Chains A and B, each alone.
Chain A
């Protein structure tokens, strides 16, 4: 089993994200050969008069609430990658997992009426297509360790910037 430290998921930098939804198009085209936001595994949210935008998708939680919530044992988590695996025969589209997910990452497919979720484009040799297509380079495949490092670096940058401004 991959430890939490190595588990990869897709993260959006809200400073870089402009809300263009290119990731949604890339996702639905990769998986379904169509352009359709409601078939995308990653969704863009703009809020506060568009001053903040971010794309959200599955974060491959260590103890996934979606798996725990499923009353039909249709969901499981890949030990290898942390990806949520959906047993399409077992899923009856009840939506408990959608309600349980804090990130809105579980979605109901408009046609199959079963849930679907980010699979990190596991069958694509070049990895997650949303990351590849994002024109702002706002999306990255990360581990929680990498995110922590980024946060530290940003904190330091900000500290010194404030320090410099005070000295002016």
Chain B
């Protein structure tokens, strides 16, 4: 069983003791790795109803069989899995860079952290040698500063580090975990889980060989995918970057602006992909093993934010820009830099700030209550100031640090209608009112509001379906997209490489076999994707989530798009949502309440978890 390191490491941070278990072939084939393996390990090592920020909540770091190999985009991935403090359900975030490759070479498929260290520590993994190190010197520092300090302390430049920032230490439910300074396991607040364990960082050096089962076949695949990645399937990522989505979404009137007040901007020339690339992008860098490098580093060269440097993608550009009514790139880049500095998920942070601006404009929060910050839509300086406040949990930042849902619950006064989230996780930059397949996908996404759990927004935006229509058949489309992405995030290969798998699951099955030597057909892989989605659903059910949580933000359900254009009047009614949910549950073989019946679990090899659904199947 090549591809796998063969070892799962368990670390109890309370006692400082560690032990290892073998990765069995059965587990490997059933859950692959990444989010699949991570959720399995989380579920088997936790109790129902566990407080996400308590020592009893395990934090899992997992790799895929492809991690550590030369497969383009696949060599470098890692995933964090836990119970999300933001949603109370599955918390999961994948990141790339080079950390995952290093950890694989150190000899691990996954690490399960439990307990809580007495004092701030970081974990130092030097192949088989595991040590908890004093982190008092780096406590309070940014992930980047922490990385430098740890490399310095250990005395090895090639040590790879994943760390939390101040936001994670202060257990902000929007805190992320950053590796190699710019790459984030961003969503669902897992930085807070790490912070709650007094675990500042994980540093790793790995020197063991990674072998693949079918060397020649594997290298032929690498060559083939190097070629594909030079072609049209990944052109967007290689050239202008994901920021190109801004113009595409804007032209379709599906780019939410000012906290979902609108869905379109008349002028985007000051923030579009051309402007970013011509005036700000200083360097494009690539992750380990990648052949379609996409990471656009934007540098502010003049003005009050001179020197600000951040990785810019559509997601943070949208959240900190149009979503807050801001059309100035220098402040957007500064705000993005600060998100990375404090270790905050930029999407959630931007949407929480836009929520605050909405509250302010509607008179729910006064200028004084905002601590004197002029939080009007369009004020980029205010966004920068607010990110700073949230990062430090200072003043108004303390109110916002746990996200829009939590802030609205504290503010009251009808502000919950302005909080754009699903299950407690803030929305992303695709207007769900006029992207109805995406709306269904976001409603059922196991980690809350998110476009990347199924990629359904692409079907809407590319015109493969009538995006303004809610109709039967969308459930099947969302299901297929989810299964595919569950496999992608378990192998782990980069979601940005999705379009290069021309034969989709057949390509990935071939890759799995070439790496591991285990037989895998595309049908088996499809079933594996389905198993992983069902597993996620089981976790959410065990933690108390129901059909009622598969919903949309208030504005998406109640406030139609007003701008003249192709999406005018679009909104998702509750009836439409119910129709879509019924169709989706039906195509999944779940009950109308969205519960996988015991027979389904049996079919998928998940019978060991059937007690979770007992009494809920009716």
B270-291: contact bitstring with A at CB < 8 Å (1 yes, 0 no)? 0000000000001111111111
Residues of chain A lying within 8 A (CB to CB) of residue B210: 34-36
Asked whether, in the complex, the Cβ of A25 is within 8 Å of the Cβ of B70, the reply is: yes
Cβ of B256 < 8 Å from any Cβ of A? Answer: no
Size category of the B interface is 35 or more
- Nearest A residue to B283 via CB reads A51
Cβ of A50 < 8 Å from any Cβ of B? Answer: yes
Q: Please, how many angstroms separate the alpha-carbon atoms of A51 and B208 in the complex?
A: 29
Q: A25-B70, A25-B289 are in contact. Are A50 and B182 (CB under 8 A)?
A: yes
Asked whether, in the complex, the Cβ of A50 is within 8 Å of the Cβ of B297, the reply is: yes
Q: Please, how many angstroms separate the alpha-carbon atoms of A148 and B80 in the complex?
A: 48
Residues of chain B lying within 8 A (CB to CB) of residue A29: 70, 215, 219
Residues of chain A lying within 8 A (CB to CB) of residue B410: none
Q: Please, how many angstroms separate the alpha-carbon atoms of A26 and B309 in the complex?
A: 32
Residues of chain A lying within 8 A (CB to CB) of residue B299: 51
Asked whether, in the complex, the Cβ of A133 is within 8 Å of the Cβ of B226, the reply is: yes
Residues of chain B lying within 8 A (CB to CB) of residue A145: none
Residues of chain A lying within 8 A (CB to CB) of residue B282: 51
Q: Please, how many angstroms separate the alpha-carbon atoms of A37 and B289 in the complex?
A: 11
What's the minimum C-beta distance from B496 to chain A, rounded to whole angstroms?
Answer: 14
Cβ of A127 < 8 Å from any Cβ of B? Answer: no
Cβ of B134 < 8 Å from any Cβ of A? Answer: no
Cβ of A136 < 8 Å from any Cβ of B? Answer: yes
Contact check: which of A18, A35, A37, A45 meets B69 at CB < 8 Å? Answer: A35
- Which B323-375 residues have C-beta < 8 A from chain A? none
Q: Please, how many angstroms separate the alpha-carbon atoms of A38 and B282 in the complex?
A: 30
A86-105: contact bitstring with B at CB < 8 Å (1 yes, 0 no)? 00000000000000000000
* Count, A-B residue pairs, CB within 8 A: 89
- Nearest A residue to B282 via CB reads A51
Cβ of A19 < 8 Å from any Cβ of B? Answer: yes
Cβ of A125 < 8 Å from any Cβ of B? Answer: no
Q: A50-B297, A136-B293 are in contact. Are A34 and B209 (CB under 8 A)?
A: yes
Asked whether, in the complex, the Cβ of A33 is within 8 Å of the Cβ of B215, the reply is: yes
What's the minimum C-beta distance from A165 to chain B, rounded to whole angstroms?
Answer: 14
Asked whether, in the complex, the Cβ of A39 is within 8 Å of the Cβ of B182, the reply is: no
Cβ of A76 < 8 Å from any Cβ of B? Answer: no
Residues of chain B lying within 8 A (CB to CB) of residue A32: 209
Residues of chain B lying within 8 A (CB to CB) of residue A65: none
What's the minimum C-beta distance from B336 to chain A, rounded to whole angstroms?
Answer: 14
Q: Please, how many angstroms separate the alpha-carbon atoms of A136 and B72 in the complex?
A: 13
Q: Interface on B for A, CB 8 Å cutoff?
A: 68-70, 72, 75, 98, 101, 105, 144, 157-158, 180-182, 207-212, 215, 219, 226, 229-230, 282-293, 297, 299, 309
| 26 A-B contacts (beta carbon < 8 Å) | A18-B284, A18-B290, A20-B286, A20-B287, A20-B289, A20-B291, A21-B101, A25-B70, A25-B75, A25-B289, A26-B70, A29-B219, A33-B215, A35-B211, A37-B158, A38-B105, A38-B207, A45-B157, A49-B182, A50-B181, A50-B297, A51-B299, A110-B207, A135-B226, A135-B291, A135-B292
